[in-house]
Structure 1
Amino acid sequence: MSTTGSRPRVLAGLLAAGLALLLSALPTPASAAAPIASINLDNATDVLAPGQDVRFLVTVRNAATEPLAGASVVLTTGGAVRVGDAGGGSQVDPTHIRWSVDIAAKGEAVFTLAGTMINATTPSGKVISTACLLLAESTRPLVCSSDIDTGTATAAAPAAGSSPSFVASVAAGLGAALVLGLGYVGYRRFQRPATAAATPDREPRVRADVDA
């Protein structure tokens, strides 16, 4: 049996076996870990204007089987907002709002910021607000969510069906009082002649002086 050409085949086989052994000794790359939490930010509008009432809703879900203890949610608004109500456990700073929270395993937490826009103009014309979740003793966000709206310098129009302003209410009240006052004066002027005509003439009473 001829062995011509068998050596290259044997060497190739040995090389393949050695390569497979080398690869098996290398550490296996770890698979990408599933995120342990998610966050969503929404303000239910696409356009922001000065004077507009706005409500930011932040929802955080814990996908892990362990609770997230001592976590923080930080909200940064893209425009200047006058804070009306940020709920319990909130810390309002000049640049952001922070909530401290413990989220149960497979649980969720919801945070709300209600306020009024003061300034909604930016160089790009876009107002970008961002909410991030930070784990305890961590300075880097675990996960973030952004809401992008169009900003305008035009003041927001009053909402349909909104209650009138204080000045308008006072003006309406004074107008109603004036109308009632004029009506009462006219009524009194109309009644006086009729009353006088209906009253019979009375004989003058004469005092009789009685001598003692």
Structure 2
Amino acid sequence: AKGQTPLFPRIFGHEAGGIVDSVGEGVTHLKPGDHVLPVFTGECGNCCHCKSKESNMCDLLRINTDRGVMLSDGKTRFSINGKPIYHFVGTSTFSEYTVAHVGSVAKINPAAPLDKVCILSCGISTGLGATLNVAKPTKGSTVAIFGLGAVGLAAAEGARIAGASRIIGVDLNPNRFEEAKKFGCTEFVNPKDHNKPVQEVLAEMTDGGVD
């Protein structure tokens, strides 16, 4: 991507659920056997951002696509035939085993099925968090959600939890509409069904625009 430093080969992936195999020296709140989710925007727990309720951009572990090594020693933990393979956003989940900073994993309930809870590590938390922590819709408000994939559905769920009375789902694929009702969407707009910009359609539906 533009502005990024090419660093290859590397193991990609950032969503997963896993079980701790071993821990490094000094790690006290995790142990082998714990179930965890990797998080590509980790938390050191000590910087001003980690201590703030308004930010999660940790000084140490915020997302960094250029960094391909561990912070402790500047080296990678992956290799093949003696040649290094680099990390990706501190998670590298497209692998049976991975190595991450302790601040880049979150301990979860072992009863949670890993094949389902894995999307909490990015997709669900992104949509839900964007609604509840950033947009902060008020009770009775009107909200529009653009795109009804995993992130959009999570955003709709956040709007439902917040008490929005109208949650308008916008998507080019009408096959997504029925499922989106389960996450709080109350009505839908398919831009292909209109001969005017979708923002004008929404403005007409909502007496001037969503909240």
Of the two, which has the highest radius of gyration? 1
TM range (shorter): under 0.3
Structure with greater strand percent:
1
TM-score in terms of structure 1 length:
0.20
TM-score in terms of structure 2 length:
0.20
